[in-house]
Amino acid sequence: MAYSPDALIAPHFLRGDDGRVVSPNERSLLKLIWRNPGLSRSEVTGHTDLTQQSVYRIIDQLAERGIVSVGSPKPGLGRGQPSPMLRLDGRHAYSCGISVTTDVIDICLVDFAGNVLAESSIALRERTMAEALDLVRKQLTEQQRLNSLSEEAFFGIGFAIAGFHVAGTRYNASLPLHEWSLIELGPLLAEFFGKPVWVLNGGKAGAIAEAMFGVGRYIKHFAYLSFNYGFGGGLISDGELLRGGNGNAGEFSQMYDDDEVLRRPALQLLIERLNRNQVVVPSITYLRTHFDPQWPGVSDWVDEVAPAYNRLVNSIWAVFDPQAIVFGGQVPVGLAQALVEKTELFGRPRYGVSRPSPKLIVSEITNDASAMGAAVTPFKSTYY
């Protein structure tokens, strides 16, 4: 039987009548409240096809379960009794995001309303998978203790890994993560942590974080470039992750042949260039933290990857037509800005009018985006 995290959700989170966490109508209202915190109860009806009576009944049921918080009245809505404001209740549950990259595992806890409760990381190099997971579990237990988080409110885990999807919960990661590759991660991790685990690609997790906490708050169609040891990303269409037929939409490195792949904008290749120029950069984390655009080799590398990078940007523009292209992952801000400056859009005006082009935006998410996106994935997959 195929692994499903939904089957492992604790019974106290489920509706009593049908075994689901929420009904389709409840889910649509929760998604609306997520995107519009502070929306008044009377305003909800205008955003749905439901009657006011149905909306009020559903909201009352969600409030009774501790999923929605019904707050103070919202002023300035015209005549009549002021209507209470609605928010997701962070106390309902919390989840954990775990992001595995080549040199570090980042851990992030978020509550049901999307507030970051805790963040930490452990070094992965020279550690086996079993050793690393033991340390993650200890970190998680310590974060629960420090933040007075009950085990009962622990909903589940989102697990992101830097590799492409093969099938089920199997991913094919780069050589430093060979022990994590081509195995069913879902059931293994669910048994280890004793919680349902949703597994996804790291670039896709970063795109989800951007959609929910970053530019996705005001832009609904964008491509997310995830600069890591390798190079990938994700596509967000109408606010939702576009997965593709095999779960790999946004695996941008796949467009390059054997020669071009060595000139794609993967941070592994930049580190190799820097080390050859006597700049010691031991890890991606170090690169992100200490990056200096004046390091010898940086400008040469940007020039070298510019043709392949520009072809990618224009391919995304031609095929997906996003409103924006977001520079994220583990890329240092200064390096992202250098790539933006190198961008050449190939659009040709006709009758003096050009095709609308995407905005180029450097992500403002300062947390680890992949861990943050992984953390919110259990809620996004089931509630909103």
Considering only residues 80 and 263, tell me which one the structure prediction assigns the higher pLDDT.
263
Per-residue pLDDT band at 63 (split at 50, 70, 90) = very high
Tokens of 12: 């106290």
Give 342: exposed, middle or buried? Use CB within 10 Å, 0-12, 13-18, 19+. middle
Contact between 190 and 8 under an 8 Å Cβ cutoff? The reply is yes
Q: How is 25-59 classified by DSSP, letter by letter? A: HHHHHHHHHHHSTTEEHHHHGGGSSS-HHHHHHHH
**CA distance linking residue 52 with residue 55, whole number of Å:** 5
Considering only residues 318 and 1, tell me which one the structure prediction assigns the higher pLDDT.
318
* CATH number for the domain formed by residue range(s) 5-88: 1.10.10.10
Domain 215-364: CATH superfamily is ATPase, nucleotide binding domain (3.30.420.40)
Note the CATH architecture for domain 92-207+370-382.
Answer: 2-Layer Sandwich (3.30)
Q: What is the share, in percent, of the chain residues with pLDDT greater than 90?
A: 91
Mean pLDDT (whole number) for 224-252: 96
Q: Which residue is it, tokens 């670039």? A: 203
Q: What is the share, in percent, of the chain residues with pLDDT greater than 70?
A: 98
> How confident is the model at residue 80, as a pLDDT?
59
Spell 223-240 as b/e; 16+ CB within 10 A means b: bbbbbbbbbbbbbbeeee
> How confident is the model at residue 175, as a pLDDT?
87
Res 271 pLDDT > 80: yes
Q: Where are the domains of the chain?
A: 5-88, 92-207+370-382, 215-364
Task: Report the residue count for the chain.
Answer: 384
Same fold, 5-88 and 92-207+370-382: no
